[in-house]
Chains A and B, each alone.
Chain A
């Protein structure tokens, strides 16, 4: 990776990469950028990075089973303690047979997934065949690696169905890329893993798998303060993805744990009658 040192000569102080890099010609070399005027080269962005860092307040999960890939997520966006939205779409439709999940900075995830969708389409047009899940996740991982250390916050899973069958990859802003059968990402992931790991079998039907995914998200939203809203469940099969359900988690709780009719009513009536 050759650094373009012409940036040293600029007299213009910059906040970021400047306008010279065009996202669309990402096939070529790493975009050059104007370097900022500062003495503390490594540390000056630390505050910005730290601000974004704890923001992976979410629960997303995906797993491969006999019938394909099941993908599920909550829908809460939080800023510290404040809930900024209960209806964020965290499962992003990259194209009709590939899904990406969002964890971390919302803007980062939305932008890079859309960018990935563009690249996948260009690949299709150039090569007359669909890109594989492995290839798509590699494209994303390489893009994120080149922005490593600049404060992007992306913890995503790429799930899809290609010629080799179902595929699931985890990609994050450090540039890591992992192939696997089961992943959960976000602050609610430990709780989701607990339910997912204990209920998982490879030979599940679509209904069983979607119920497992829904339950895992529900339990994560119960225990984790930064997850909540609506539990969405998607299924990726040989013909592409379909959305299976979107259940409000507040109602799911009382569906799983109904409140028995209150005995207290009778007690209070007696007291009032006295």
Chain B
């Protein structure tokens, strides 16, 4: 198995009507063995910006949990006295990843945020920072192929927050049920201009 499949992960983000949803699985494993079922893959950068990272768990924690991204955004907030726009943040992440071009962080980020006029923004990147913008949904992780299929089938444009939650949850759960290395529950954030709803999904624990 490749190094990207060492820990196992699944992250997906979808766009709705003036809202977005980002979801991940909760498993932390070492190849086939499951170590934990409450691993945090999604971090809040600010109230309208979330990043989820799939791939090697130690790099996920380094980038989002502590050192690189949250820290850089906090500095930005101090200097500019405002929150970063999602597009700007995506460029920042891309630059940080490319800095390590010849010894990369072994993860693939999924960025989701509400930009100007509460317009939802999502994008994903490969491990060295190539941005891929999308209008509907982005996926990453060991279950990414299943996630592409499920999202493609279930996605409709301009969904409201509740319907978006249902759709992204179903897409995530049915995809991770086809992957040995991800699953064991789900974590979904649905973000509208006024509130953030965080929910834990009850999934198959096998």
**Does chain A have a CB within 8 A of B81?**
no
The docked-state distance in angstroms from the alpha carbon of A80 to that of B206 is: 16
The reply to whether A224 and B179 contact each other, CB–CB distance below 8 Å, is no
The docked-state distance in angstroms from the alpha carbon of A268 to that of B197 is: 8
Q: Identify which of A57, A225, A259 gathers the most chain B CB atoms within 10 Å of its CB.
A: A225
Q: Separation in Å of the B185 CB from the closest CB of chain A?
A: 10
In the complex, which of the residues B1, B5, B177, B195 contacts A272, with contact meaning CB atoms closer than 8 Å? B195
Known contacts A57-B32, A83-B178, A272-B195: A222-B202 contact under CB 8 Å: no
The docked-state distance in angstroms from the alpha carbon of A226 to that of B8 is: 12
In the complex, which of the residues B8, B33, B178, B181 contacts A223, with contact meaning CB atoms closer than 8 Å? B33
Which B residues are in CB contact (< 8 Å) with A253?
204-206
Which A residues are in CB contact (< 8 Å) with B33?
223-225
**Does chain A have a CB within 8 A of B94?**
no
> Considering only CB atoms and an 8 Å cut-off, how many residues of chain A contact the other chain?
27
In the complex, which of the residues A78, A222, A250, A268 contacts B180, with contact meaning CB atoms closer than 8 Å? A78
The docked-state distance in angstroms from the alpha carbon of A227 to that of B178 is: 12
The reply to whether B205 and A225 contact each other, CB–CB distance below 8 Å, is no
> Considering only CB atoms and an 8 Å cut-off, how many residues of chain B contact the other chain?
21
Which B residues are in CB contact (< 8 Å) with A227?
206
Q: Separation in Å of the B59 CB from the closest CB of chain A?
A: 19
In the complex, which of the residues B179, B180, B202, B204 contacts A249, with contact meaning CB atoms closer than 8 Å? B204
The reply to whether A228 and B204 contact each other, CB–CB distance below 8 Å, is yes
The reply to whether B206 and A226 contact each other, CB–CB distance below 8 Å, is no
The reply to whether B34 and A223 contact each other, CB–CB distance below 8 Å, is yes
Residue of A nearest to B8 (CB): A225
The docked-state distance in angstroms from the alpha carbon of A229 to that of B33 is: 16
Residue of A nearest to B199 (CB): A264
The reply to whether A221 and B180 contact each other, CB–CB distance below 8 Å, is no
Which A residues are in CB contact (< 8 Å) with B202?
254, 259
The reply to whether A76 and B32 contact each other, CB–CB distance below 8 Å, is no
**Does chain A have a CB within 8 A of B129?**
no
Which B residues are in CB contact (< 8 Å) with A78?
180
Residue of A nearest to B142 (CB): A81
**Does chain A have a CB within 8 A of B29?**
yes
Between A and B, 29 residue pairs with Cβ closer than 8 Å are A57-B32, A74-B206, A76-B180, A78-B180, A81-B1, A81-B5, A81-B180, A81-B181, A82-B179, A83-B178, A83-B179, A86-B177, A187-B32, A222-B34, A223-B33, A224-B33, A225-B29, A225-B32, A226-B32, A226-B180, A227-B206, A228-B204, A249-B206, A250-B203, A253-B205, A253-B206, A254-B202, A268-B197, A271-B195
Q: A86-B177, A221-B205, A222-B34 are in contact. List 12 more A-B contacts (CB 8 A).
A: A78-B180, A81-B1, A187-B32, A224-B34, A225-B31, A225-B33, A225-B181, A228-B180, A228-B204, A229-B206, A250-B203, A259-B202
- B interface list, Cβ under 8 A from A: 1, 5, 8, 29, 31-34, 142, 177-181, 195, 197, 202-206
